[in-house]
Chain A
């Protein structure tokens, strides 16, 4: 068993995480996703864009909430996970930066709901690569890519213990804009 299962507290849903290295069929997977193949009901995330499992879980938690409230911005709950990893609302950009691309070699996979064993055997079937322990999530991260994707300052990059928190903060504030900040107080 290599996957891991996590409770998404805010929606009471469950998320399963998996990790694959030496992936050889990334191009085919991306094309399958693009074609809307229903069998690929997973979020496939490029390992280079993943710093920590927590990043994936925050994206998954928000996606599960959006699905519950019927306010998904993308096609389904799994594409929403990929979209939620991005700090802005550009859907195409989110898929280019965080989703599976033709040269992806490591893939982090998020599955919301369902049974872990089923998802796991299905994924081993779909992905031509080596299943790894989810403890390896984050080990293939490309920090330069993270810096660019989240537009981080040198000081934010230097603060390694807080880097994951800075990334998650950027994700959490995506779309949280509706209020104008004013100096008036009515308290």
Chain B
């Protein structure tokens, strides 16, 4: 059960996200809810599996040096993950606010490119990369200002195809949310290539060219 004082901050198709008091800290509680159209047994199984998967991927990212919210508690019975509340603005809002200088944009592109490369090196596919799912901490904590959030659609895979589609989803989100960001996105890919050198980044980017031609879904013919 959610603590009293929980404040709903986001409602998605799969989960509700609350801001809650937790053992003296401010935390985020993400509660996956059941789907009435699914068979109850299947529903419980799927929901619980996804909660576990999301929590484990958050840890996997952190281990790999990708800043992601810390997990405070997993309540499988209530399908809820309690995690670190990150005092931050989304990259989306950051890019929309005022005009940023070219070097600030480059620095952000560098942080994004490096984060994505490290995440893919750890074989984590985010599954829903947008500029709303990347946040900039207000307070500098070491060099880790950029934090990836919402691993609700994430999974692990070693395939360049999956990593390329991950980047493609971000590219589409980027270009539709931020007009004239082609150059910034190219910079992100350049940093992705540089950071992921020797661990398949080149292959992923090559694959990205193919994905761009055909779109996110793969043809099942043949």
Select the stretch in A6-14, A35-43, A90-98 that faces chain B. A6-14
Docked pose: A168 CA to B62 CA in angstroms: 12
Tell me if B201 is interfacial: C-beta within 8 Å of chain A. Answer: no
| Nearest chain B CB to A167 CB, angstrom units | 9
Q: Is the CB of B53 within 8 A of A183?
A: no
Docked pose: A156 CA to B65 CA in angstroms: 8
Q: Is the CB of A181 within 8 A of B156?
A: yes
| Nearest chain B CB to A132 CB, angstrom units | 19
Q: Is the CB of B3 within 8 A of A173?
A: no
Q: Is the CB of B23 within 8 A of A176?
A: no
* A156, A178, A183, A185: the one within 8 Å of B52 (CB): A178
Q: Is the CB of B23 within 8 A of A58?
A: yes
Closest chain A residue, CB of each to CB of B139:
A161
Select the stretch in A20-28, A61-69, A74-82, A103-111 that faces chain B. A61-69
Q: Which residues of B contact A57 (CB under 8 A)?
A: 23-24
| Nearest chain A CB to B37 CB, angstrom units | 13
Interface size on B, residues (CB 8 A): 42
| Nearest chain B CB to A104 CB, angstrom units | 25
Q: Is the CB of B49 within 8 A of A168?
A: no
Q: Is the CB of A6 within 8 A of B23?
A: yes
Q: Which residues of A contact B46 (CB under 8 A)?
A: 186
> Interface digits, A172-187 against B, CB 8 Å rule (1 contact, 0 not)?
1100111111110111
Q: Is the CB of A176 within 8 A of B25?
A: no
Closest chain B residue, CB of each to CB of A54:
B23
Tell me if B20 is interfacial: C-beta within 8 Å of chain A. Answer: yes
| Nearest chain B CB to A57 CB, angstrom units | 4
> Interface digits, A24-52 against B, CB 8 Å rule (1 contact, 0 not)?
00000000000000000000000000000
Q: Is the CB of B63 within 8 A of A168?
A: no
Docked pose: A156 CA to B71 CA in angstroms: 15
Q: Which residues of A contact B19 (CB under 8 A)?
A: none
Q: Which residues of A contact B82 (CB under 8 A)?
A: 10, 172
Docked pose: A88 CA to B59 CA in angstroms: 14
**For window 65-89 of chain B, which residues contact chain A by CB distance below 8 Å?**
65, 70-77, 82, 84
Q: Which residues of A contact B56 (CB under 8 A)?
A: 173, 176-177, 181
Q: Is the CB of B24 within 8 A of A54?
A: yes
Docked pose: A18 CA to B1 CA in angstroms: 28
Given known A9-B3, A159-B144, A176-B76, contact A170–B23 (CB-CB < 8 A): no
* B24, B141, B155, B159: the one within 8 Å of A181 (CB): B155
Q: Which residues of B contact A179 (CB under 8 A)?
A: 48-50, 52-53
27 pairs from A and B in contact (CB 8 Å cutoff): A9-B3, A9-B4, A9-B23, A10-B1, A10-B3, A10-B73, A10-B82, A53-B24, A54-B25, A57-B24, A61-B73, A62-B73, A155-B65, A156-B62, A159-B144, A161-B141, A161-B142, A162-B70, A168-B70, A169-B59, A169-B71, A172-B72, A172-B73, A177-B56, A181-B57, A183-B156, A186-B46
Extra pairs beyond A162-B141, A168-B71 (6, CB < 8 Å)? A9-B20, A54-B25, A169-B70, A170-B59, A176-B76, A181-B155
